[in-house]
Amino acid sequence: MELTRENIIKVAHLARLEVPDERLEPLRQSLSQILDWIEMLNEVNVDGVEPMFSVNQEQMRRREDVVTDGGYAKDIVANAPGGAQYDMFSVPKVVE
């Protein structure tokens, strides 16, 4: 699968990764190569085979509806880049 520059730009934006211009071509090449190699899977006949998303997972345990967590706003915001204000995180203004 040969990816285009546009593919790379689009995927990088979806993943919120800034890719400098000079990195575009090497990235395009290596990703194309990896995808080419992955195409090997086309040889495998998977007709009627269910996807397997996880292992050993017959039953999901469920917890009781009890408040056991929270109540530590200071810990939540302790690592906030640039510090917290009013115990909240901040980002550049989002216009809706």
Partner 1 sequence: MNELIKLNLSQARDKLLKKDFSSVELTSAFIKQMEETRGLNAFITETPELALEQAKASDKRIAAGSAGIMEGIPIGMKDLFCSKGTLTTAASKILSNFIPPYESTVSQNLKDAGAVSLGKTNLDEFAMGSANITSAYGPVENPWKKQGDNAKLVPGGSSGGSAAAVAARSCMAATATDTGGSIRQPAAFCGLVGLKPTYGRCSRWGVVAFASSLDQAGPMTHTIRDAAIMLEAMSGYDPKDATSIDISVPNYESLLTGNVKGLRVGIPKEYQVDGMRSEIMDVWHKGVEWLKQAGAEILDISLPHTKYALPTYYIIAPAEASSNLARYDGIRYGARIEGEDLTDLYEKTRGQGFGNEVQRRIMIGTYVLSAGYYDAYFIKAQRVRRLITKDFTDAFQKVDCILTPTTPTAAFSLDNPPTDPVEMYMNDVLAVPANLAGLPALSLPGGLTSDGLPLGLQLVGKSFDEVTLLNAAQVIETAANFQGQVTQMRKAS
Partner 2 sequence: MTTYIEGATGPWEVVIGLEVHAQVSSNSKLFSGASTEFGADPNSQVSFVDAGFPGMLPVINDFCVRQAIKTGLGLHAQINELSVFDRKNYFYPDLPSGYQISQFKHPIVGEGHLNIDLPDGETKAVRIERIHLEQDAGKSIHDQHPSKTFIDLNRSGVALMEIVTMPDISSREEAMAFVKNLRSLLRYLGTCDGNMEQGSMRADVNVSLRRPGAELGTRAEVKNVNSIRFMGQAIDFEVQRQMEILEEGGTIVQETRLFDPVRGETRSMRSKEEAHDYRYFPDPDLPPLRLKPELIEEIRKTLPELPEAKKTRFVEKLGLSPYDAAVLVSDAEFADYYESAIAAIKQQDDKAPKLLANWITSELFGAMNRDNLTISESKVRPEGIAELVDLITAGTISGRIAKDVFLQMWESGESAAQIVKEKGLEQVSDDSAIRVCIEQIMAANAGMVDEYRSGKDKLFGFFVGQVMKAMQGKANPKLLNDVLKEMLDGK
* Residues 14-43 as x/- pattern, contact with partner 2 by CB under 8 A: x-x---------------------------
Look at residue 78 and give the partner it binds from partner 2, partner 1, none, a contact being a CB closer than 5 to 8 Å depending on partner kind.
Answer: partner 1
Query: Which residues are 85's β-sheet partners?
Result: 88
Site for partner 2 contains 6 (CB under 8 A): no
Of 34, 40, 37, 47, give the one whose Cα is nearest residue 8: 34
Q: Which is nearer to partner 1, 53 or 86 (CB)?
A: 53
Angle, helix 5-14 to helix 21-38, in steps of 10 degrees: 100
Burial code (b: 16+ CB inside 10 Å, e: under 16) for 34-73 equals eeeeeeeeeeeeeeeeeeeeeeeeeeeeeeeeeeeeeeee
The footprint of partner 2 (CB under 8 A) covers: 14, 16, 53-54, 57-73, 75-77, 85-96
Q: Which residues bind partner 1 (CB under 8 A)?
A: 3, 7-8, 11-20, 27, 30-31, 33-35, 37-38, 40-41, 43-44, 46, 49-57, 60-61, 63, 72, 75-82, 89, 91-92, 94
